[in-house]
Structure 1
Amino acid sequence: MTLDADLRITRDAFALDIRLTVRPGEVVALLGPNGAGKTTAVRALAGLDHLSAGHVRVGDHVWDRPPKVFVPAERRAVGVVFQDYLLFNHLSALENVAFGPRARGVPRARARTQARAWLATVGLAEHAGARPRTLSGGQAQRVALARALVTQPDLLLLDEPLAALDASTRLHIRAELGRHLRDYPGRTLLVTHDPLDAMVLADRLVIIEAGRVVQEGPPTEVARRPRTDYIAHLVGLNLHKGTADGTTVALDGGGALIVAEPAAGPVHVAFPPSAVGLYPRRPAGSPRNTWPVTVAGLEQHAHTVRVHLAGSPSVLADVTPAVVAELRLAPGTQLWAVLKATEIQTYARG
């Protein structure tokens, strides 16, 4: 049974209008900038907000279809893991996990047996009696996951489930979460700002901006062919719109690029910042894509420096600290940018 959600909600000046499907065993990641409508979508699926129009159904079970059908949150087969986990501080890990079955009328002894089994599944059997405040962030995240899964929900909602973890813990817990999700037969919707979480955990990405779906598909396809500036920034690519005529693309923002594969009509061109070379003078031999640029800003990343370059076109370039020192890069520095045609992805604008 597939989750089929046509989410249409109007609140003051904001309107959400997206279609989501999630198949059994599938993990779909919902991404978007702040204010895109991700939280509104989660609340609608969980039964915390009413739809203005549309529907939410899993197979033949309709959860919301205005104006006559609305199944409240407590009667939906939904498990939720929130960013802050929202564990009950006065209850042990065992009682936190047992809370779901108890709320559904399962006798205390059986609920505790189910909870113990799930704590063992997530590797926390020895912490059954611990209170949430004594657990690490990764342990609390696993208790929250066990609490969500113990009721065997049709839909699992993960709302920024790794955001509260530090970087080293996040790496380990991400891998562990991926293992649990592969074993979960239900439908999972992962809401996240982190592209790495989405790329590693999800089978399919759905990106929304201003309440609308702007792109969806397998992670590798979205990463290779972003269709908006937000997505390009998310996956770390330069993205420009233009009009192709053979191997020349006239860019909408000014300038032109030579590409390897001929095309015609409106296109996107995308290339990684690492593909952009920087020179103090115009290189001899005049490579096919060479143009003057001015340094507009610099950002320190883990082992590289991202250079913001103003020009026609304006681009991002990733260089080493040694290159920054060698070229004496600073805002206002004038340089030449070089880009090989073979580094550029060209694809039609949808």
Structure 2
Amino acid sequence: MTLYAELKVARCTFQLDLNLTVEPGEVVALLGPNGAGKTTALRAIAGLLPITGGRIHLDDQIWDEPPRVFRSADRRPIGVVFQDYLLFHHLSALENVAFGLRARGTGKRAARAEASKWLETVGLGDQARSRPRALSGGQAQRVALVRALATSPDLLLLDEPLAALDASTTVHVRAELGQHLSRYGGRTLLVTHDPLDAMVLADRLVIVENGRVVQEGAPTEIARRPRTDYVAQLVGLNLYRGVADGTTVRLDTGGSLTIASPAAGNVYVAFPPSAISLYPDRPSGTPRNTWPMQVAGIEQHAHTVRVRLTPHNSQAPATLLADITTAAVADLHLTPGQLLHATLKATEIQTYPT
């Protein structure tokens, strides 16, 4: 049983063209920058936005196929957790969870009993009578999740489910959400712009930019072999395109790299910023990849300092990111505009076909 969505949505100047499948028991993350079309896709699959072309179906159930078929949201076996949860503030946590069951014809007493069981499963049995304003962000997120799951949906849609949480809560709730999703036998589509949410929660990533899929695969594959600058930035790699001839890659943006293993044809080359070493003068016994560079920017990045470098001659890459320690910043007396040398070992570079 597979959810298949071939989406074509045209709105003003924006067009979304997306092929997407989600298998039972699978968590698929739709990841992309703001304005990429993620929420448009979710709304179309949820039945909140008709598509203008293509088809959405769950096995032999057609949900949307213009102009012949459109199944409204209340007739689709889905559960949705919105970014702001959208709990009913005048109802208790118990009544919020029971709402979906009641809407689908379950009697009041049976719906409350089932809702109580769901709240117990997420450790909120003692909050059954609490209203949303009395709940913490993490508790509200769990109520919204079990409200969506209580109706036994075939498809669970998560729209930025952790975005409303503060940083101190997010780590715990993300792990908790992952445990619940691992027990859910249906299909899950997670829409997010947070790469950590996607990497931790999803079995497969679908990267969307400008309304198109630009890369798809397992999180480890995406992290190792990005194919766009956006994805490279997400996973923290320097990424270039070029033409390989033996152990030399001529970069499309200018400059060249020496790689360890010979290659041929159009390739991507990628390496982490931590692979770059910086020196005030050209070091002796230098690696093949040594370039004069100029410091364009310095910023704190997690527990290191990220240095953005621009080339000082035509043989260097167009831009370069280096991660160094705070002590190294002090030793080098780094300032914007400073000239120094960057080195990169050929063995640190990944090369793969475009």
Query: TM-score normalised to the size of structure 1?
Result: 0.99
Amino acid at match of 2:135: L
Correspondence for 2:28: 28
Correspondence for 2:253: 253
Query: Structure 2 CA distance, aligned partners of 1:84 and 1:299?
Result: 32
Query: Structure 2 CA distance, aligned partners of 1:176 and 1:285?
Result: 51
Correspondence for 1:157: 157
Which of 309, 323, 346 is equivalent to 1:341?
A: 346
Query: Structure 2 CA distance, aligned partners of 1:331 and 1:50?
Result: 51
Q: What SS class does the counterpart of residue 220 from structure 1 fall into?
A: helix
- In the TM superposition, 1:263-274 aligns within 5 A as 263-274=263-274
Q: Is the 8 A contact 2:286 2:343 kept in 1?
A: no
CA displacement at 1:168 relative to structure 2: 2.1
Q: What SS class does the counterpart of residue 24 from structure 1 fall into?
A: coil
Q: Deviations over 1:204-261 (max 9, x none)?
A: 0000111000000000001000000000001110000110001100011111000111
Would you say 1:61 and 2:52 are equivalent positions? no
Amino acid at match of 1:10: A
CA displacement at 1:102 relative to structure 2: 0.8
Q: Is the 8 A contact 2:309 2:321 kept in 1?
A: yes
Would you say 1:282 and 2:287 are equivalent positions? no
Correspondence for 2:328: 323
Correspondence for 2:212: 212
Correspondence for 1:306: 306
Q: Which runs of no fewer than 5 residues in structure 2 stay unpaired?
A: none
Q: Which runs of no fewer than 5 residues in structure 1 stay unpaired?
A: none
Query: Structure 2 CA distance, aligned partners of 1:214 and 1:302?
Result: 28
CA displacement at 1:95 relative to structure 2: 0.4
Q: What SS class does the counterpart of residue 90 from structure 1 fall into?
A: coil
CA displacement at 1:92 relative to structure 2: 0.4
CA displacement at 1:83 relative to structure 2: 1.1
Query: Structure 2 CA distance, aligned partners of 1:13 and 1:263?
Result: 41
Amino acid at match of 2:45: L
Query: Structure 1 CA distance, aligned partners of 2:34 and 2:165?
Result: 20
CA displacement at 1:75 relative to structure 2: 1.0
CA displacement at 1:302 relative to structure 2: 2.3
Q: Deviations over 1:280-305 (max 9, x none)?
A: 00110121100011111112122111
- In the TM superposition, 1:213-232 aligns within 5 A as 213-232=213-232
Query: Structure 1 CA distance, aligned partners of 2:160 and 2:292?
Result: 41
Amino acid at match of 2:187: R
Query: Structure 2 CA distance, aligned partners of 1:262 and 1:120?
Result: 58
CA displacement at 1:155 relative to structure 2: 0.7
CA displacement at 1:325 relative to structure 2: 1.1
Would you say 1:113 and 2:113 are equivalent positions? yes
Correspondence for 2:73: 73
Query: Structure 2 CA distance, aligned partners of 1:69 and 1:330?
Result: 62
Query: Structure 2 CA distance, aligned partners of 1:146 and 1:330?
Result: 52
Query: Structure 2 CA distance, aligned partners of 1:262 and 1:147?
Result: 55
Would you say 1:332 and 2:324 are equivalent positions? no
Query: Structure 2 CA distance, aligned partners of 1:298 and 1:81?
Result: 39
- In the TM superposition, 1:120-269 aligns within 5 A as 120-269=120-269
CA displacement at 1:328 relative to structure 2: 1.1
Q: Is the 8 A contact 2:248 2:257 kept in 1?
A: yes
* RMSD after superposition: 0.7
Q: Deviations over 1:294-330 (max 9, x none)?
A: 1111121221111111112111011111111111112
Q: What SS class does the counterpart of residue 257 from structure 2 fall into?
A: strand
Moved over 2 A (4+): none
Identity %: 70
Q: Deviations over 1:55-91 (max 9, x none)?
A: 1111111111110100001111111111111111111
